[in-house]
Amino acid sequence: MSFEKNLLQMKKLIKKKPVKGQSLAPFVIPERPGYSSTWEKAGLSLIENEFGVVFEKKTRYEPDYRHGSFQLEDVFQAFILWNSFQGVHPVSTDDQQVVFFDTETTGLKGTGTYIFLIGQLKWNGDHFEMIQHVLADPSHETAFLYASGLWKPDHTIITYNGKSFDWPQLQTRWTLNREHLPKLLDPAHIDLLHASRRVWKNELDHFKLTKIEEDKLGFKRVGDIPGHLAPIIYFDAVKSGNPSTLLKVLSHNEWDILSLLTLFIHTTKLILQEEYSETVGTSTNIGKWFADLKAFEKSQKAFEQITKQYEAKEAAKAFYYLGFEYKRLKQANNAYKAFEQSLMYLPEGLRIKSYEELAKIAEHTKKDFNTAIEKVENALNLIEHSKILTPLKKIRLRASFEKRLIRNKKKQTISRGSADFDRK
Amino acid sequence: MKKKAIGELLNEWKQDADMRERIVHWHTIEAKGASLADFPNKLHPSIQAALKERGIHQLYSHQRQAFDIAMEGQSFTAITPTASGKSLCYHLPVLQSILEDSSTRALYLFPTKALAQDQKSDLNELIEQMNQDILSYTYDGDTSPSIRTKVRKAGHIVLTNPDMLHSGILPHHTKWVSLFENLKYIVIDELHTYKGVFGSHVAHVLRRLKRICQYYGSNPVFICTSATIANPKELAELLTNESHKLIDQNGAPSGKKNFIFYNPPIVHPTFGVRRSAILEVRDLAKRLHNEGIQTIIFAKSRVRVEMLVTYLKELTKRKIQNESIRGYRGGYLPSERRQIEKGLREGTIQTVVSTNALELGVDIGQLQACIMTGYPGNIASAWQQAGRAGRRQDEALILYVAQSTALDQYIVNHPSFLLGQSPEQARIHPDNLVILMDHLKCASFELPFKTTDQYGEFEIQELLAYLEAEGILVRTSDKWHWMSERFPAHEISLRSASQENVIIIDQTIPAATKVIGEMDRYSSMTLLHEEAIYLHQGIQFQVEKLDWEEKKAFVREVDVDYFTDANLAVELKVMSEDQEKVFEQGAVFFGDVSILAMATIFKKIRFDSHDNIGSGPIQLPPEELHTSSSWLSFNRPEGWTDSMLTDAMTGTGTSIASFIPLFVQCDRRDIHVVPQVKSIHAELPTFFVYDSYPGGIGISERVFEVWPDLLAHVEQHVASCPCDQGCPACIGAQDATVGLKDEVIKLLAYLQLKPKGEFHVI
């Protein structure tokens, strides 16, 4: 172990205690809400722990349980695919306990927003189990958070928009109860909203989970309550004591989490299973994602596959990205071919860049200044007639291409001169 | 041609017959030497080194005093005129404490974003000179999300404004644990700006802040700096709910100052009409410009600023790329303002025309001369504007140019009004229930109250029960929990009711429209109506379309020889009468009123001659304000005609308005007095006093209690005023209406309220 690592280990031993002015008072267990028995009759179990009470609902699913187009046990194939994947990818997971996780809250942000429902779906030896914890009332928050078990180490959570919403919100609640609770560690976290955005860029307009469910996962909800009503329903349940509508929020949350699991299956297959694909756009997006993650072997393979499989028109972007793959591999001729093939059907912005790449290869590798000049002029022509570029952008682009043009013309003259000289 | 120094120029003026006639009074404030103190022994060597690098080898006495008091852990307030090195009063103890314990945190509050950014560059420069690892950041709406986490976790010094603290920091305090656990100093710069409604709101924001600090176990020291006002210590203590020591002996030196009271010449002897002050200021500014004297000109409105800029730019018209004359006011974009401030500090800008936006401690260095176009409305402001002139070793010139309004004429003829009086008091009233309830909601959102808790100095259990009844809170065994989807801080603006500004879009080039500024709703009714000429940096724009729904004004550059001036009609209706007290002469009431303000017509006025050359209607929906009011309705005294009553009531109203702040301790702008000879609701002569804040801030409620006293005081004051015809100090200056003052005194004598019947509440 290196010296630095040793030091870092030591550092963990240094404990700081926050200076507390007042509240070192012992924890007082709050009173049970008056409606406890009504909620129990409605089907929630009352669980007691050292901090108070919490309501709980457990649901069991057999492995072959079907949700939309998938069976829950298909998730194991997805895990296998990831385990055989060599490399780092934001959607990959290892053998840790995987938890599909979603919350319902009383608002959108700030310390006045409570989490009132935490749902977790796990594999439990021979079946899947959903555990939903419901905040009994705000004074029982410590009990609620403790019961969630989220403080236990060594699990991977999978969420939809959890990185910017659910988890920070959980951290806020945890901070407010930190005197009594074990520390909340940051688990490995896979946010499928991020993945969905990469996979379906330019393919989907909205990334609402219910929308993806219908379009991609083959699931349609019947009798669902809209998510934005959840806070009001919870307030009403606490104020009136009547939990009947609250149970619909639990179903809503249950559907969210089941869809989360099937979304994980679907995206995993799209990313890692070669024969499993949707559209050329999705496949190109995935290739690009690999490229951005510097998994070049994967990205090159993906782009090559697309260019073989699809018409030039559909594969234009794949050709374009493939051009960069070859450029990186210093295969100038291949790169040049790929950019050439991409040109015709690329959107304007990328076409200008493609011309730029062609001009670079022509100038620097092929020393073919006539071609370079031709490509630059093509780009300038596109810029001139563009309807989407802002005036400022036009000026900047034009300036850089004109610089290239002048340089090439100079080189052209010199090379002609030296050719003439050779002839003499 | 050789440029003259100020001293030479003034000598010349003393010889000049015209100038001698126009200069009514010449007041000289002699130079004052510095009062110095050694560096404290414990002052960290790196701070000492940084100061020495700046050429500072000793501290001013007030800076040393500030350091010593802060190190004792005592909150304090320092009076710091412009250019007295106020920032060292807080930087030194804060930096020292951070160097002693690197976990120490400090929060600096500035009234505006701009001031915070200004101070940050100054502070960072100091830290760089110290060569220490201290992190300071501004945190406001402009802070990019990527560094927010860093600011929250690692910033030793966070510079922000009350609005951001209110809606961006306190409601998210769990993200700021390391700040709140270790907060040792809260610095409040420009204390004097926290008055009236804004100040009352900020007082609550600070109570919320202290509550959060207590939750995380810190107990910070408050350091306030203030311009000269009558009651700095009282204001600081009320604002922070903490006892303060006062540092009022300033050790900074100042150069000799010439304070000149200048009255424009009479151009029409028969009617006593004087030349326009704007034109006079233009000419004086030109003379100073020609001598190369760096000058700041204060004008009262945005329009005047732009007019003066237009006039003065004539001077540099033929010089290409000359940016030596600039305007500066709210509504310019921040980047533009930063650029102007820099130009002033570096001397590339020689003349700047400003609204009171530059009264605040924006760092523009010290200029040589200051011209006030008219009286800024209160003594404290006048001194702050004057303070902009005066380099340490240099003679300074302050020119007060009187307009022909009554108030200005009174002041130019009674210099002691300005020179001899102490500045006004700054008042706040945090115990106003409307504001209190607003912030109680925010505080409940931030942390649940216990059923035994207080909030600041307030007992709140009953108020919390009310919020529970409203369905916002839920009570459990020992706490009140926020149970609402709402985010209360977003619904509460600290500044004013109308938070939404109108964006000004230049569409001169259709393909390249751009935002050139913004303006508050109320001002835009009269300045951005369709066909209005809007001036921006001396360039004229005509408003082509005002989209009131979307709050956008579309303008196009034009070149015309006129400006526009709009009328605002105000209508007042009584909504409910809650309390009434009957007297012999009439009755006083307390209740709710609705005020309707509507822009009616605008006039086109030619530059230079100021002739009216056309007019047009303004089609905008009225703006409505519901507020509380107290009014006095009385039976018409026998033998008084409508017109006699109108004049006398106008004069009396002015007087009442100027005395109310004394009686109920508020800012003058927080109330309005409207006399009506025949009120709409009771058809009797009536004085309305109303709070200029939606829902009221409880001022008129207090006025309701003091009517007899108030009127007695007003009568005594008017009767004993030495003027003949009435003056701004009593009934407002008069347009030569002979005998009006007598009528006001008669009316006031009649209005000495005598009790009748019993008090009853309806």
Tell me the shortest Cα–Cα distance from A176 to chain B, in angstroms. 7
Count CB neighbours of A364 within 10 A: 10
**A300 in the same domain as A248:** no
What pLDDT is recorded for position B669?
Answer: 63
A301 and A209 in one domain? no
Q: Looking at residue B593, what is its pLDDT?
A: 85
- What is the maximal distance between C-alpha atoms in chain A? 106
**Can you spell out the DSSP letters for B224-281?**
EEE-S-S-HHHHHHHHHTS--EEE------B--EEEEEE-PPEEETTTTEEPPHHHHH
Q: Sorting pLDDT into bands at 50, 70 and 90, what band is B750? A: very high
Q: Is any Cβ of chain A less than 8 angstroms from the Cβ of B746?
A: no
**CB under 8 Å to B12, separation ≥6 — which residues?**
B4
pLDDT of residue A4: 44
Q: How far is CA B374 from the centre of its chain?
A: 17
Residue A232 forms contact with B (CB below 8 Å):
yes
Q: Do B471 and A239 touch (CB under 8 A)?
A: yes
Cα atoms in the 13 Å half-sphere on the side-chain side of A119: 26
Quote the tokens at residue B91: 């930087």
| B window 172-191, beta carbon within 8 A of A | 172-175, 177, 181
Of B670, B676, B614, the closest CA to residue B642 belongs to B676
Determine whether the interchain pair B171/A391 forms a contact, defined as Cβ–Cβ distance below 8 Å.
no
Same domain, yes or no: A131 and A228: yes
Task: Tell me whether residue A277 is in a domain.
Answer: no
Interval B409-468: pLDDT, tens: 777 877 887 887 677 677 777 877 778 888 999 999 999 999 999 999 999 999 999 999
Cβ–Cβ gap A235/B218 under 8 Å: no
Compute the count of residue pairs across chains A and B with CB atoms less than 8 Å apart.
Answer: 90
According to the per-residue pLDDT averaged within each range, which of A119-123, B341-345, B663-667, B727-731 is highest?
A: A119-123
Domain that holds residue A326: 296-423
Is B218 in contact with A106 (Cβ distance < 8 A)?
A: no
CA distance A359 to A372: 4
Residue that the structure tokens 């009651």 belong to = B231
Nearest-by-Cβ selection for B171 from A106, A112, A239: A112
Asked whether the beta carbons of residue A138 and residue B216 sit closer than 8 angstroms, the reply is no
The answer to whether residue A415 is domain-embedded is yes
Q: How far apart are CA B698 and CA A358, in angstroms?
A: 74
Q: How many residues does chain A have?
A: 424
Q: In terms of Cα–Cα distance, which of B104, B102, B168, B181 is closest to B140?
A: B168
Q: In chain B, whose CA is at the least distance from the CA of A24?
A: B217
Q: Is residue A135 part of a domain?
A: yes
Q: Spell out which residues of chain B touch residue A235, defining contact as CB-CB under 8 Å.
A: 471, 474, 483-484
**Structure-derived torsion over alpha carbons of residues B300, B301, B305, B310, reported in degrees to the nearest 10:** -130
- Most A CBs within 10 A among B209, B442, B447, B477, hence the mutation to make, goes to B477
A352 and A383 Cβ atoms separated by less than 8 Å:
yes
Chain B CB within 8 Å of residue A164 CB: no
**Interface test mutation site (partner A, options B452, B454, B482, max chain A beta carbons within 10 A):** B482
What is the distance in angstroms between the Cα of A150 and the nearest Cα belonging to chain B? Answer: 19
Ranking B1-5, B145-149, B259-263, B524-528 by mean pLDDT, the lowest is B1-5
Q: Token match 């959102």: residue?
A: B445
Give chain A positions within 8 Å (CB) of B165.
Answer: none
User: Token pair for residue B77?
Assistant: 């307030």
CA-based nearest distance B167→chain A, Å: 10
Verify that A158 and A41 share a domain, yes or no. yes
Instruction: Pick from A111, A229, A395 the residue to mutate for testing the B interface (most B CBs within 10 Å).
Output: A111
Q: Is residue A290 situated within a structural domain?
A: no
> Smallest Cα–Cα separation from B450: which of B437, B435, B460, B439?
B460
On whether residue A329 sits in a domain, the answer given is: yes
Could you give the CA distance from residue A90 to residue A83 in angstroms, rounded to a whole number? 13
pTM of the model: 0.79
- Do A131 and A72 lie in one domain? The reply is yes
ipTM, interface predicted TM-score of the complex: 0.82
All residues of chain B having their beta carbon less than 8 Å from the beta carbon of residue A137 are 474, 476, 481
Which residue in A28, A30, A110 is closest to B172 by CB distance?
Answer: A110
User: In this structure, are A41 and A188 located in the same domain?
Assistant: yes
Residue A36 with chain B: CB contacts under 8 Å: none
Nearest-CA distance A141 → chain B (Å): 11
- Alpha helices, DSSP H, located in A125-245: 141-148, 167-176, 192-199, 209-212, 230-240
Q: Is B738 within 8 Å of chain A by CB?
A: no
List strand residue ranges (DSSP E) for B435-513, in order.
449-450, 454-455, 458-459, 473-475, 479-482, 501-506
- The verdict on A259 and A304 lying in the same domain is no
Any domain includes A190: yes
Q: What is the CATH number of the domain that holds A386?
A: 1.25.40.10
A313 and A394 co-located in one domain: yes
The HSE-up count of residue B494 (CA atoms within 13 Å, CB side) is 26
Minimum Cα–Cα distance from B174: chain A residue: A172
> Is the predicted pLDDT of residue B694 greater than 70, yes or no?
no
Reported confidence tier of residue B577, pLDDT bands at 50, 70, 90 = confident
Which chain A residues are within 8 Å of B172, Cβ to Cβ?
Answer: 109-111, 172
CB of B488 less than 8 A from some CB of A: yes
Q: Are B4 and B288 in contact (CB under 8 A)?
A: no
- Decide if B479 touches A, using CB distance below 8 A: yes
Contact predicate B3/B292, CB 8 Å:
yes
> Are the Cβ atoms of A111 and B447 closer than 8 angstroms?
yes
Nearest CA to CA, how far is B186 from chain A (Å)? 18
Please name the residue that has the structure tokens 């594969």: A315
- Residue A21's pLDDT is 43
Neighbours of B467 (CB within 10 A): 22
Counting DSSP H helices and E strands in chain A, the numbers are 16, 9
In this complex, is the C-beta atom of A20 within 8 Å of any C-beta atom belonging to chain B?
yes
pLDDT band at B762 (very low <50, low <70, confident <90, very high): very low
Any A CB within 8 A of B601 CB: no
- CB atoms closer than 10 angstroms to residue B500: 10
The pLDDT value recorded for residue B268 is 67
Alpha-carbon Rg for chain A in angstroms: 29
A-chain residues within 8 Å CB-CB of B149? Answer: none
- Mean pLDDT for chain B? 86
The two structure tokens encoding residue B507: 């569409």
A243 and A127 both lie in a single domain: yes
Structure tokens at B184: 């040792």
Which comes out higher in pLDDT, residue B397 or B662? B397
One domain for residues A400 and A348: yes
Nearest CB among A18, A112, A175 relative to B446 is that of A112
Rg (alpha carbons) of chain B, rounded to whole number? 27
A424 close to B (CB below 8 A): no
Closest Cα in chain A, distance from residue B468 (Å): 10
**CA-based nearest residue in chain A for residue B481:** A138
- Domain for residue A287, yes or no? no
Q: How many Å lie between the alpha carbon of B174 and the closest alpha carbon of chain A?
A: 6
pLDDT per position in chain A (424 positions), as tens? 344 444 444 434 434 344 334 445 678 899 999 999 999 999 999 999 999 999 999 999 999 999 999 999 999 999 888 888 777 666 666 666 899 999 999 999 999 999 999 999 999 989 999 999 999 999 999 999 999 999 988 888 999 999 999 999 999 999 999 999 999 999 889 999 999 999 999 888 889 999 999 999 999 999 999 989 999 999 999 999 999 999 999 999 999 999 999 999 999 999 888 788 888 889 889 988 888 888 888 888 888 888 888 888 888 889 999 899 899 889 988 999 999 888 888 888 899 999 999 999 989 888 889 899 999 999 999 888 888 888 888 888 899 999 999 998 888 888 877 767 666 5
- Print burial letters for B292-321: b (CB count within 10 Å at least 16), e (below 16): ebbbbbbbbebbbbbbbbbbbbebbeeeee
Crossing angle of helices B196-215 and B232-240, in 10° steps, is 50
Residues in chain B: 762
Name B363's Cβ contacts closer than 8 Å, sequence gap at least 6.
B118, B119, B122, B341, B345
State which of A9-18, A190-199, B67-76, B259-268 shows the largest mean pLDDT.
B67-76
Identify the pLDDT of residue A20: 38
User: Measured between beta carbons, which residues in chain B are less than 8 angstroms from residue A108?
Assistant: 485, 487
Are B478 and A22 within 8 A, CB to CB? no
What integer pLDDT is reported at residue A33 of this predicted model?
A: 94
Cα–Cα distance measured from residue A145 to residue A167, given in angstroms and rounded to the nearest whole number = 13
> What is the per-residue pLDDT for B418?
82
Other C-beta atoms lying within 10 Å of the C-beta of residue A76: 12
Q: What is the largest CA-CA distance in chain B?
A: 85
Number of domains in chain A: 2
Closest to A368 in 3D by CA, of A330, A411, A407, A404: A411
Nearest by CB to residue A139, choosing from B219, B447, B477, is: B477
Domain containing residue A119: CATH number? 3.30.420.10
Asked if B524 contacts B568 with a C-beta cutoff of 8 angstroms, the reply is: no
**Beta strands B552-557 and B501-506, pairing class:** parallel
Q: Do B488 and A112 touch (CB under 8 A)?
A: yes
- CB–CB of B487 and A238 under 8 A? no
Residue A31: list chain B partners with CB under 8 A. Answer: 476-477
Task: Say yes or no: B214 contacts chain A, CB-CB below 8 A.
Answer: yes
Sign of CA dihedral B418, B423, B429, B435: positive
Distance between CA B629 and CA B703 in Å, rounded?
9
| B471 has pLDDT over 80 | yes
CA-based nearest residue to A151, from A126, A186, A196, A115: A186
The CB density around residue B374, as the number of other CB atoms within 10 Å, is: 23
Last residue of one domain, picked from the residues A221, A239, A272: A272
Q: Give yes or no for B474 touching A (CB within 8 A).
A: yes
B471 with A232: Cβ contact below 8 A: no
Q: Which of B16-20, B519-523, B667-671, B747-751 has the lowest mean pLDDT?
A: B667-671
Instruction: Judge whether A375 lies within some domain.
Output: yes
Shared-domain flag, residues A226 and A342: no
Chain B residues whose beta carbon lies within 8 Å of the beta carbon of residue A232: 485
Are B479 and A20 an interchain contact pair (Cβ–Cβ within 8 Å)? no
A84 to chain B, any CB pair closer than 8 A? The answer is: no
Same domain as A316, residue A204:
no
Nearest-CA distance A21 → chain B (Å): 5
Q: How far is CA A423 from CA A370, A419, A420, B155, B629, in A?
A: 20, 6, 5, 71, 102
Query: What DSSP state is assigned to residue B550?
Result: T
